[in-house]
Amino acid sequence: MNQSLKQPPLTSDSTPPATSPQGLRPLLVLLATLTVYAWVFWPSLSSMAAIWWRSDTFAHGMFIPLISLWLVWRQRDRLPSIPLGSSWLGLTAILIGCLVWLLALATDIAALHQLAAVGILICLIPTLLGLRLFWALLFPILYLLFMVPIGEELTPMLQQVTADITVKALRLSGIPVYINGLFIEIPTGKFEVAEACSGIRYLIASLAVGTLYAYLNYTRARTRLIFMLASLLIPILANGVRAYLIVIIAHLSEMKYATGVDHLVYGWLFFGLVMALMFWLGSFWHDPKPSNDLQTQTPVTPVASSHYLITVFTLALFIGVGWLGFQLQHSDAKAPLAELQLPQSPWQSVAGLSSPWKPDYLGADEVVHQSYKAGRDPSNKLSAVGLYIARYRNESQGKELINQNNRIETAAAWTMASQQVRQVQIDNQPFAVVETELRHLLGTQRRTWHWYGANGQTATNPLQVKLLQGINRLNGNQHPSQVTLISTDYEDSTRADQRMQQFVEQLDRQLLKQPKSS
């Protein structure tokens, strides 16, 4: 320990150092509060742990708390000199975090209530131990954010980036290539940039490890940010190169190698080499050692007399939030579903008119999937309109109207070409739908329109649906919700629009609004 390090004098604005008997009390209070915290926010903590255990992408999450504790332990000689305190600002942040957590729990947005729970944990440090200690341990505390299993939402974007890099590299290599969405075709075979090939695992792991490396090896904020940015961008580029090399290996071996599980092995080996190269290059950067003078440490801490008052408020807040969270999780009321009136004449359900397209909404309480025609030729698929309805009495994790695992197409042969929100006319009134263009490997084109019904309104924005559901659930209401999709295969897009427009106009109005409880 640097002998020049001086302990700040105690004032009325701070509590004694942690080494004194008086200084141990805030630590004991923190431990007691953490026990209550774990009980209240157990739904979020346990769901995160379950994801760490079953998902290779987020398996690193179980090591993050241990790494943070180790980083704190590295500063054990410095910490006794920091006066403890408390912070009303931290308590305010906890209050905001609790509101976000309740709303996220009500709407079953797992990533958000997990993020809110970790944010509340972080805010406990300045609230109960003071801002000085918080700033001294800023990185170890904020590193806990890597516990939250988020990032898989980027998978579709990363798949497309990987496909684009691969195709450009193949063309530069002089290999003829054709791309259709995420499907790549060269003379020797066909490839798909699947979700496992998106590189999201490499990206998340690289960012977590790269951030830690930057903290341990650099002192300047600018240098750390540059290395963290490199940890973010290099894996994306490297994954595109990896995919290109996989295609090249398969091409040169006439599809004998790199077409099965072995290409995943090659991928991890390549990722390991890239990370080693990145750390080797990073070792050439050097920052000056930081000053250990604690006199430059931040803010004045709140008065010690407020510490127990803040603790009481924090515990009371947690108990109230815990009770509300329990009520939200154990509400077994199921909203009844009113009977659907399906389309009538001139539209008729066509038995046996199958389609290679089928959406999948997990856990729906009722599903309708039929084909309808208004023409005379029941065998002509190009004049048929498909109807798919998924209805939910209530929702729980994995049984949700809005869920990233729900699909408007399930077969791998279908590729989403485009998606946009557009207005159609119903009874001379504008009505918003999400229009999606699908392409099949065999050349079939399919257009779909879909919209959601929730809480007496229709919506095309999933976030809007979640917020409406959450607010009504917090109010103690139970409303059913649904998604309605119509679709048609087409060669002429104008005729497809006309056909779908005519079909929508014949739908029961409860399919255009939230179905009423019977």
Q: What is the pLDDT of residues 88-98, one digit of tens each?
A: 999 999 999 99
Give CA 110 to chain center in angstroms: 8
Amino acid symbol at 143: Y
Question: What is the reported pLDDT for 7?
Answer: 44
Residue 514 pLDDT exceeds 60: no
| Residue 95 included in any domain | yes
Tokens of 219: 């002192």
Task: Give the sheet arrangement for strand 189-192, strand by strand.
Answer: 178-180, 183-186, 189-192
234 falls within a domain: yes
Nearest 5°: the CA angle 393, 394, 395 is 135
pLDDT of 417 > 90? The answer is no
Residue 479 makes CB contacts below 8 A (sequence gap 6+) with 335, 454, 455, 456, 469, 472, 514, 517
Residue pair 429/504 in contact by the 8 Å Cβ criterion: no
- For residue 47, what pLDDT is reported? 92
Task: Round to whole Å and give the CA distance between 12 and 305.
Answer: 9
Whole-number Å distance between alpha carbons of 270 and 276: 10
Residues 412 and 307 in one domain: no
Reported as a pLDDT band with limits 50, 70 and 90, residue 376 is low
The pLDDT of 128-133, averaged and rounded, is: 90
Nearest to 77, CA basis, from 136, 22, 127, 129: 136
Is the pTM higher than 0.95? The answer reads no
Which pairs with CB-CB distance under 8 Å and at least 24 residues apart come from 277-285? 278/206, 278/210, 278/230, 278/231, 278/234, 279/213, 282/213, 282/214, 282/217, 282/227, 282/230, 283/217, 285/217, 285/218, 285/223, 285/227
Q: Which of 279, 265, 329 is nearest to 473 (CA)?
A: 329
User: Is residue 230 in some structural domain?
Assistant: yes
Are 72 and 217 contained in the same domain? no
Highest mean pLDDT among 8-17, 301-310, 457-466: 457-466
We report the CATH number of the domain holding residue 457 as 3.40.1000
- State the total domains in the chain: 3
Residue 1 lies in a domain: no
- Which residue range(s) make up the domain with 506? 348-511
322-354 pLDDT tens trace: 998 888 777 655 655 666 666 666 777 776 555
Residue 76: which residues within 8 A CB-CB, separation 6 or more? Answer: none
Q: How far is CA 121 from CA 22, 74, 127, in A?
A: 24, 21, 10
pLDDT at 297: 44
**Per-residue pLDDT tens over the stretch 279-303:** 888 777 776 666 554 444 444 444 4
For residues 205-212, average pLDDT: 92
* CB contact at 8 A, 149 and 48: yes
Q: DSSP secondary structure string, 287-320?
A: -PPPP--GGG---PPPPGGGHHHHHHHHHHHHHH
Q: How far does CA 326 lie from the centroid of its chain?
A: 24
Residue of 215, 282, 268 whose CA lies nearest to 75: 215
Are 126 and 163 contained in the same domain?
A: no
pLDDT of 317 over the 90 cut? yes
- Inform me whether the pLDDT recorded for 23 exceeds 60: no
- Say whether both 323 and 352 belong to one domain: no
- Please tell me whether residues 352 and 501 are part of one structural domain: yes
Residue 151, pLDDT score: 87
Tell me the residue ranges of DSSP E strands in 255-381. 348-349, 366-373
CB 57 within 8 A of CB 200: yes
Task: Please state, in angstroms and rounded to a whole number, the distance separating the CA atoms of residues 464 and 480.
Answer: 16
Q: Answer yes or no: is pLDDT of 146 > 50.
A: yes
The pLDDT assigned to 142 comes to 96
- Is 389 within the bounds of a domain? yes
Query: Region 49-53: what's the mean pLDDT?
Result: 92
At residue 262, φ and ψ (nearest 5 deg) are -60, -25
Residue at token pair 């180790």: 70
Asked whether residue 160 falls in the same domain as residue 85, the answer is no
228-262 pLDDT, tens digit each: 999 999 889 988 888 888 888 887 876 666 555 55
Pairing of strands 366-373, 384-392: antiparallel
> How many angstroms separate the CA atoms of 227 and 104, rounded?
33
Q: Tell me which of 202-211, 317-326, 461-470 is least confident.
A: 461-470
- % pLDDT > 90, the chain: 23
Give the closest residue to 306 by CA, choosing from 317, 318, 314, 297.
314
Residues 115 and 165 reside in one and the same domain = no
Q: Are residues 355 and 481 in the same domain?
A: yes
Provide mean pLDDT across the span 20-25. Answer: 60
Domain match, 200 and 258 both? yes
313 vs 45: CA distance, rounded Å: 22
Do 430 and 365 reside in the same domain of the chain? yes
Same domain, 193 and 229: yes
Average pLDDT along the chain: 79
- Is residue 221 domain-shared with residue 322, that is, in the same domain? no
Q: What is the pLDDT at residue 314?
A: 92
Q: 164-173, 236-245, 503-512: which range is least confident on average?
A: 503-512
Place of tokens 């659907």: 340
Helix-strand-coil split of the chain, %, nearest 5: 50, 15, 35
pLDDT > 80? residue 13 = no
Domain membership flag for residue 6: no
Distance (Å, rounded) from C-alpha 131 to C-alpha 299? 7
Separation between Cα atoms, residue 167 and residue 161, nearest integer Å: 10
Q: Which amino acid is at 173?
A: S
Contacts of 92 (CB under 8 A, 6+ apart): none
Sorting pLDDT into bands at 50, 70 and 90, what band is 210?
very high
Residue 36 falls inside a structural domain: yes
Report CA-CA distances (Å) from 225 to 213, 214, 347: 11, 8, 61
In the chain the first and final C-alpha atoms are separated, in Å, by 73
Classify residue 4: in a domain, yes or no: no
pLDDT at 318 > cutoff 70: yes
List the one residue out of 204, 206, 198 whose CA is nearest residue 164: 198
